[in-house]
Structure 1
Amino acid sequence: MTVSTEFSSKYFSLISLAEGVWAALSIPGTGSWSNAGIIDMGDQTIIFDAFATPTAAQDLRIAAEKLTGRQATIVLNSHYHLDHVSGNQVFQDVPIMSTKLTREQIAIQQPRLIEIFKNNPEYLDQVKAELEQEESYQKRQELEDLLGEYSMILKDTERFKLTLPTITFEDTITLNGARMYAEFTTYGGGHTCSDSFLYLPKEQVIFLADLMHIGYHADFRQGNVDQWINILERVKKLKIKTIVSGHGGIGTAEELDKMIDYLNTLKQISVDWVQHEGTIENIDEIDIPKRYASYGAPSIFHYNIKSLLEKGI
């Protein structure tokens, strides 16, 4: 893996993973808000996920054209969350693909969320106020990053245009190119109701989107922990050298076990809390385990515990 010097962006860093394969790692607080990918198939160019804002996505499109010598030919949406699909409009002249469920949720959720941001500009003041009071380094960093992401989303609200996937698939679709082939696959929902990933069998590279977080707390409030674990257990059966996370860095196959351990650990913490007569109201008393203490987005930890307790674990 090497840092690509062929294109520079203030929204993401380009990492070369194999010939014709790049990870676009989000620079926190800039409006990208999640990781993406660029794959040169030899005669086609795949974009995996499209960032949180059109501004960041425009740089992604330009980067793909400079790296591959052609315009993007297809965009893949891993799931419906705003930070992965709000850049779709930059690619509205090319096919966009997702599962049927993901398409349905983008249609419902994206306009609603954009309206919330548009009608509540005071979010920025709220985050600034919290930042002034916060003493924890990790939480301060989280708030600073959120302030940057929210600022960019608010800046782009007037130009947002709902751009839905034009092609939907079930299970797996193989994308064939002159140089390589790729498999766009869903095993169902774990992080959301429907999560897809991109696997390059020959290169043994996998873009797992938010099914994988490396160095960040993973949010499962809108998902199902047990299904998520099952998905990752199935992914483990693939030959993998390199994993690109949805948030955080790049890792190897061992990150799958770490992610599974994270999910199981939070489940067990929730079970223990109930057994010791803990309540939702006092979950802030639960300490984040030391091995996750340095993870980004620490507020997600307690949101996750609350979600598990509300769902009855």
Structure 2
Amino acid sequence: MDKEIILITGSSGQLGTVLAEKLQKKYGVENIIATDLRENPTFNGVFDTLDVTDFEAIEATVLKYKITQIYHLAAILSANGEKHPLSTWDINMKTLFNVLEVSRIHKISKVFFPSSIAVFGNNIERSNTPQSSNLTPSTVYGISKAAGENWGKYYFDKYDLDVRSLRYPGVIGYQSLPGGGTTDYAVDIFHKAVKNEDFECFLSSETMLPMIYMDDAIRATLELMEAPKEKITVRTSYNISGLSFTPNQLASSIKEKYSSLKINYKPDFRQEIASSWPMSIDDTQARKDWDWKPKFNIKTLTETMLKNLELKYNNNLINS
């Protein structure tokens, strides 16, 4: 088999940071081309600055490195996107179209496009939300992801471009700071606990949302991309489930170690967004098609997050 050379857009984000490292281990450091809008001096590997709204720049990168696969992660997220909806739509869709067109023209073998539970609206079954639910999103981010799912399917049906996608729940990881998503309270609370700071939650205490630990999210991504083409029956985006909890349940789990953690619940505009999203996800199709199964529960997630953030902050104190 020919060597895979993989381009990642938006590689400095929460997901891209970890995904790049995992792909390097699998395909070799020199075969992973990480890109983002700004320089990333701490990245260990091949990194280029790339504006994904610039078609010619993407095409030049694909030709320069002889790219065979693209993981297109660059996007403006849900909460930040609501501040500037028109520019969010323009950026999210233009970058996707550029990636799809470059991939079609230059016969890229596989494209990964991350979708989100933000594609769902408030007219769904919020418990065990089915794969085939109506998509009436309440945010411009969700609208762009729902449109992106259909464009991915279109390029597969029309041009046989192998576009694959996952509807990520809230992704929780210790590797980077919150990035402007509605579920990011579930990352920030761990940082506050380890730093012995009070935490102000922008969602109500009983807002149940589906989440996934970073290791599970990355593993799901790689398992999907490595699955045989004939096994992929969903050409919009697969539901995947990790676990579901409320801010209160997560706080209780953290308080088993950090009993002094203080929380003030102060719901803002993100509460309305969260209230339109699923409380849990039915991922039967992913389990059936490519044997998906999450490994982390709230206890193991909490233990892993706290352990790694303690190491991170202790090292920072030592090095400062």
Same fold flag (TM > 0.5): no
Which one has a larger percent helix, Structure 1 or Structure 2? Answer: 2
TM-score for the superposition, normalised by structure 2 = 0.30
- Higher strand content, 1 or 2: 1
**TM-score between both structures, scaled by the size of structure 1:** 0.30
